[in-house]
Amino acid sequence: MAVEMDKAAVRELIARRAEKEIESGYYVNLGIGMPTMVANYIDSDKEVVLQSENGLLGIGRSPYEEEVDPDLINAGKETVTASIGAAYCDSAESFAMIRGEHLDLAILGGMEVAENGDLANWMIPGKMIKGMGGAMDIVHGSKKVVIIMDHVNKHGDPKILKACRLPLTGKGVVDRIITERAVMDVTEEGLKLIEIAEGWTVDEIKASTEADLIVSDELMTIQSNT
């Protein structure tokens, strides 16, 4: 089994791998939490526009301490920078972009993903939440949805399941799942394992995944832009 990494290293590995999903010319929405880290690793040669549902089109990297502007935040209320040429709008116009299917890609976090592409990422029953947020619109309005998350929860239980147990954000909306252990695609035949992290075996990935896995004939090792 691979040596377990600390939390920061895991998040960086996942974010760097997720960056490879972004192509030049894309309009992209990054969800709150770990997905916001992806902005820090986007290749400078790529022309990418990051969209936030609270009304910023053109998010830049995370700010240095001296750059922090408390009025410039993303949907997760984290301070951000604005890229050259960024535009501001109200939430109604921002969601018109999303619902109008103008986003090429959404990279979101997940609590649970089912083998058929169902996603649960907006609430845990019994816990206080501030609202359902924009994820329900984003997963249906984006041309491609990639979920990035830990492979198992803090108790060591699988988060990639045969069927989600938590309330759904969307049915059959996920295209790809990226964890610190593997990359999987949702296909008509089932959940396909296409990449595996160095140090892990296929049997170990299967043991930590409740969903049935189809192993790609072209299984590769996860590569990230370090």
**How far is Cα 172 from Cα 152, in angstroms, rounded to an integer?**
21
Give me the amino acid identity at 166. L
Q: Catalytic site residue 53?
A: yes
**How far is Cα 183 from Cα 222, in angstroms, rounded to an integer?**
8
Which one-letter DSSP state was computed for residue 120?
Answer: E
**How far is Cα 139 from Cα 110, in angstroms, rounded to an integer?**
12
What backbone phi and psi angles, to 5 degrees, belong to 74? -95, -170
Pairing status of strand 176-178 against strand 145-148: parallel
**How far is Cα 77 from Cα 108, in angstroms, rounded to an integer?**
16
Which of 12, 19, 21, 53 is flagged as catalytic? 53
- Which residue from 172, 176, 224 is spatially nearest to 14, judged by alpha carbons? 224
Biggest CA-to-CA distance, the chain = 51
Q: Which residues are the active-site residues?
A: 53
